[in-house]
């Protein structure tokens, strides 16, 4: 990987963030670039062991291990000397000795992360060797640092030492950087494929396509909203322009990531969220163009894609480029199974957004004193928003069912059984049953327009649990390659807000119905 990416991941692992604003992070890193953080560790020596750099946010954990709850950052020496941290590590080691399959609990995982961060600081501050010298084709890069390196890398170590002295003295660095580059090039050059990957990832880091996507889609959502208030044509034109630009940035980001990792980009939470958003925006664009140009498909897809990119940005950097587990090392199955499942999530996310739009527009913001419109002769047709929600659920359920069946085929190929009631498999089946129940209830007229819109939101809460809850809360089963931690409070808060929104809509709907002003809802989509 490029040194820039390495520095970013190091900063996240140690301090908790890739970059800190001035005055907000650790004193030795606040307001600086990750490369400066790496340079400090490499060239300022053992003094960095005593700098409070390691971020610890959880107050109960700090109290448990005896760290000052009022502080946010601690030095590597403080972490190493913490009796509480060492006790947690010892308990985990003892559990692994008795049962090699034993997993660490939440506090033990935190202790392991702190211990790892302290070790990274110590290794760089005392040794400082990095794999930066290309080896022979097909072989690993050789280690070199300011204090020495692998045999044959002395010229690079000397150039790095000179660079370090200039860096510590605050002298100009361009000439010394050129000397380091020349020394490395004299010993070997990366293969064309490696050089291409490094160049692409460097551009990916500099350009930050996901930041641009967030800005453009956020702007598009605001402009779509303003178009309902004034200057309709002009605002819609601007919203479509922002959507088109955001979509181009989205496609660029996914294309770059695919080229860099050289596989289908759906192997971890970060990539899955991005793929969901891409599917949502593609479905919205196609439906808007081919099905109904006056529909809300595009708006719903932009909101879903914006949310996906926003939440993907919350995934820790160290979890975004993890190595591919053996079970996933098949582009065939990544494309056939994982992409199908994740695509269903994207379509069902659009259905959930359309459900929100209907309930907000036709229930919460409806004029409660307006008398009901007399029904026309014959069956009443549902409003377009409900039809669009219904179609999205149909498409999403088809993809979800197909993806789950294909997952069973993959399980039979990899694990020797089609179905084993693994938590992930069980909740995938539950999700299918929930959406089948929604469609059946709608077809049988057990639920009408309000019920379908509310069910689209409830169904997506089940999808979020299937995707997030099983991996991050339950964290058990054979699908361990998808496990992670963190974000439980935010996801729980989101679910609580959704339920409160539905209760509010239901209360408002009942009140409108009693006054005879509820929106008509007497037919299936």
Per-domain residue ranges of the chain: 3-190, 327-370+379-515
pLDDT of residue 502: 92
Q: How far is 121 from 516, CA to CA, in rounded Å?
A: 69
DSSP 470: I
Q: Taking the CB of residue 289, how many other CB atoms lie within 10 A of it?
A: 11
Q: How far is 293 from 285, CA to CA, in rounded Å?
A: 10
Secondary structure element (H or E) that encloses residue 276, with its range: helix 269-290
Beta bridge partners of 54: 74
Nearest to 393 by CA among 340, 354, 335: 354
Q: From residue 480, how far is each of 138, 328, 356, 462, 473 by CA, in Å?
A: 30, 11, 33, 20, 12
Q: How far is 181 from 156, CA to CA, in rounded Å?
A: 8
Intervals of the chain under pLDDT 70? 137-138, 266-267, 291-294, 315-335, 367-380, 413-416, 472-487, 517-525
Nearest to 407 by CA among 422, 391, 392, 388: 422
The 10s digit of each residue's pLDDT in 450-483 is 999 999 999 999 988 887 777 766 655 554 444 4
H and E: helices and strands count for the chain: 19, 5
pLDDT of residue 523: 42
pLDDT of residue 323: 52
Nearest to 121 by CA among 84, 77, 171, 178: 77
Backbone angles phi, psi at 87, to 5 degrees: -65, -40
> b/e map of 485-522 (b: 16 or more CB within 10 Å)?
eebeeebeeeeeebeebbeebeebbeebeeeebbbbbe
Beta bridge partners of 131: 143
Nearest to 145 by CA among 166, 6, 1, 131: 131
CB 246 within 8 A of CB 223: no
Nearest to 354 by CA among 302, 405, 314: 302
Sign of the torsion angle spanned by Cα atoms 498, 501, 507, 508: negative
CB 204 within 8 A of CB 257: yes
Q: From residue 61, how far is each of 111, 392, 485 by CA, in Å?
A: 9, 44, 15
Beta bridge partners of 158: none
Nearest to 142 by CA among 129, 159, 126: 129
CA R_g for the chain: 27
Nearest to 431 by CA among 473, 464, 472, 387: 464
Token pair, residue 283, equals 């479905």
Q: Taking the CB of residue 450, how many other CB atoms lie within 10 A of it?
A: 23
Q: How far is 392 from 280, CA to CA, in rounded Å?
A: 10
Nearest to 244 by CA among 300, 282, 297: 282
Distance of CA 518 to the CA centre of its chain: 39
Q: Where are the alpha helices (DSSP H) in 291-383?
A: 297-312, 331-333, 339-359
Q: Taking the CB of residue 1, how many other CB atoms lie within 10 A of it?
A: 15
Burial of 145 (0-12, 13-18, 19+ CB in 10 A): buried
Hey, which bits of 427-491 come out as E strands? none
The 10s digit of each residue's pLDDT in 429-455 is 899 999 999 999 998 888 888 999 999
Beta bridge partners of 145: 148
Secondary structure element (H or E) that encloses residue 277, with its range: helix 269-290
Report the predicted TM-score, pTM, of the whole model to 2 decimal places. Answer: 0.71
Q: Give the 3-state secondary structure of residue 133.
A: strand
Q: Please give the span between the terminal C-alpha atoms of the chain, in angstroms, as a whole number.
A: 51
């Amino acid at each position: 990987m490029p040194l820039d990416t390495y520095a970013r991941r190091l900063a996240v692992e140690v301090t908790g963030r890739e970059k800190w604003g001035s005055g907000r992070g650790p004193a030795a890193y606040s307001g600086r670039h990750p490369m400066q953080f790496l340079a400090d560790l490499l060239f300022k020596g053992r003094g960095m062991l005593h700098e409070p750099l390691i971020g610890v946010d959880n107050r109960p954990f700090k109290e448990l291990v005896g760290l000052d709850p009022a502080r946010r950052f601690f030095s590597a020496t403080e972490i190493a000397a913490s009796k509480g941290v060492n006790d947690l590590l010892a308990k985990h080691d003892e559990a692994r000795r008795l049962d090699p399959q034993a997993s660490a609990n939440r506090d033990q995982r935190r202790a392991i992360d702190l211990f790892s961060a302290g070790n990274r600081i110590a290794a760089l501050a005392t040794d400082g060797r990095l794999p930066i010298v290309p080896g022979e084709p097909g072989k690993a890069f050789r280690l070199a640092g300011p204090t020495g390196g692998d045999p044959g890398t002395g010229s690079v170590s000397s150039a790095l030492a000179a660079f370090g002295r200039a860096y510590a003295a605050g002298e100009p660095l361009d000439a010394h950087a050129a000397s380091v580059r020349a020394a490395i090039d004299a010993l070997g050059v990366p293969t064309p494929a490696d050089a291409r990957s490094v160049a692409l990832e460097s551009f990916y880091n500099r350009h930050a396509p996901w930041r641009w996507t967030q800005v453009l889609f956020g702007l598009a959502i605001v402009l779509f909203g303003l178009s309902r208030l004034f200057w309709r044509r002009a605002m819609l034109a601007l919203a479509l322009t922002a959507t088109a630009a955001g979509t181009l940035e989205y496609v660029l980001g996914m294309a770059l990531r695919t080229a860099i990792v050289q596989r289908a980009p759906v192997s971890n939470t970060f990539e899955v969220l991005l793929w969901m958003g891409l599917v949502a925006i593609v479905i919205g664009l196609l439906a808007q163009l081919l099905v109904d140009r006056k529909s809300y498909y595009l708006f719903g897809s932009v909101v879903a894609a914006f949310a996906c990119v926003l939440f993907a940005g919350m995934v820790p950097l160290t979890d975004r480029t993890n190595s591919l587990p053996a079970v996933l090392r098949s582009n065939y199955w990544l494309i056939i199974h994982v992409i199908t499942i994740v695509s269903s999530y994207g379509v069902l996310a659009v259905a959930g957004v359309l459900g929100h739009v209907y309930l907000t527009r036709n229930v919460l913001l409806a004029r409660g004193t307006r008398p009901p419109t007399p029904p026309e002769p014959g069956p009443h047709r549902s409003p377009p928003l409900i039809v669009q929600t219904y179609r999205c659920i149909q498409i999403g359920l088809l993809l979800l069912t197909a993806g789950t069946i294909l997952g069973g085929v993959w399980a039979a190929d990899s694990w020797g059984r089609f179905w084993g009631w693994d938590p992930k498999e069980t909740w995938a089946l539950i999700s299918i049953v929930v959406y089948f129940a929604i469609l059946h209830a709608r077809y049988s007229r057990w639920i009408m327009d309000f019920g379908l819109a509310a069910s689209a939101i409830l169904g997506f809460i089940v999808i979020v649990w299937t995707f997030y809850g099983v991996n991050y809360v339950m964290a058990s089963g054979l699908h361990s390659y998808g496990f992670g931690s963190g974000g439980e409070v935010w996801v729980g808060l989101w679910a609580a807000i959704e339920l409160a929104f539905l209760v509010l809509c239901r209360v408002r709907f009942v009140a409108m119905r009693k006054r005879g002003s509820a929106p008509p809802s007497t037919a299936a989509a």
